Structure 1
């Protein structure tokens, strides 16, 4: 049975434990074993930096154990995906694991900025801070888009369904 590491900012939701149980149950329903970061056992009575390091090591171990990573790449605290999730995707990709992402909006990144949030300067789109906006026909930064085997419009279960249909 292939193992899926479930990456995303869902761990910050108030009902994060329930979300993890739901995603793990969906994995089982589709013939996979789900590995959810909050399944790790961490001693929270330690000094904060030790807790952080223990969480990091435990999640790295889960990624290494996994065959596949499914990542929630929806914007988190801004226009970009969660930075921890992005790191997990990059690490998994470097290990040669297949990474799949899902997003509610898979339109081109450039089109996710309203007319008030961008302007054209020297034939280059820039944001309100004058920083160029990527325009490579991906819904997210090219480094993540190109490290993902596929980014699916939809939810976690849509990726699972896609994997089963591809007989992965």
Structure 2
């Protein structure tokens, strides 16, 4: 049975444990074993830097055990995906794992910017600080879009349906 590492900012939600249980259950229903980061055992009585290192080490080890990573790439705290999730995708891709993402909005990344947040300069679209905004018709930064096997419009289960 292939193992799926479940990446995403869902771990920060108030009901993150329940979310994880549901995602792991969905994996089972599609013939996979789900690996959810909050299933790792970490001693939270330690000092904060040690806790952080233990979480990092446990998640990296879990990704190594996985055959596949499915990542929630929806925007989180801004216009970009969660930075931890992005790192997990890159790490998994570097290890040669199959990586899939899902997003509610798979329109081109540039559509995340309102007209008052972007303008044209020298044939490029830039933000209000005159930094170029990527426009490669991907829903997310090219380094993520090109490192995942596929980004699927929808939810976690839609990816499971596509790969089962």
TM-score calculated relative to the size of structure 1: 0.96
Aligned ranges 1:2-41 → 2 under 5 Å? 2-41=2-41
- The corresponding residue for 2:69 is 69
The question of 1:111 aligning with 2:111 is answered yes
CA distance in 2, matches of 1:28, 1:130: 47
* Alpha-carbon shift at residue 116 of structure 1 (Å): 1.4
Q: Which moved more, 1:107-116 or 1:145-154?
A: 107-116
Stretches of structure 2 that go unaligned for 5 or more consecutive residues are none
* Alpha-carbon shift at residue 112 of structure 1 (Å): 2.1
Equivalent residues, number: 164
Q: Which runs of 4+ in 1 moved over 6 A?
A: none
Stretches of structure 1 that go unaligned for 5 or more consecutive residues are none
CA distance in 1, matches of 2:65, 2:2: 10
Aligned ranges 1:46-61 → 2 under 5 Å? 46-61=46-61
- The corresponding residue for 2:43 is 43
Query: Which string of whole-angstrom CA distances, capped at 9 and with x for unpartnered residues, describes residues 68-97 of structure 1?
Result: 000000011000000000000000000000
CA distance in 1, matches of 2:20, 2:96: 24
TM-score calculated relative to the size of structure 2: 0.99
* Alpha-carbon shift at residue 113 of structure 1 (Å): 1.4
Query: Which string of whole-angstrom CA distances, capped at 9 and with x for unpartnered residues, describes residues 94-141 of structure 1?
Result: 000010000000001112212111100111100112110001110000
- Give the secondary structure class of the aligned counterpart of 2:120: strand
CA distance in 2, matches of 1:111, 1:91: 27
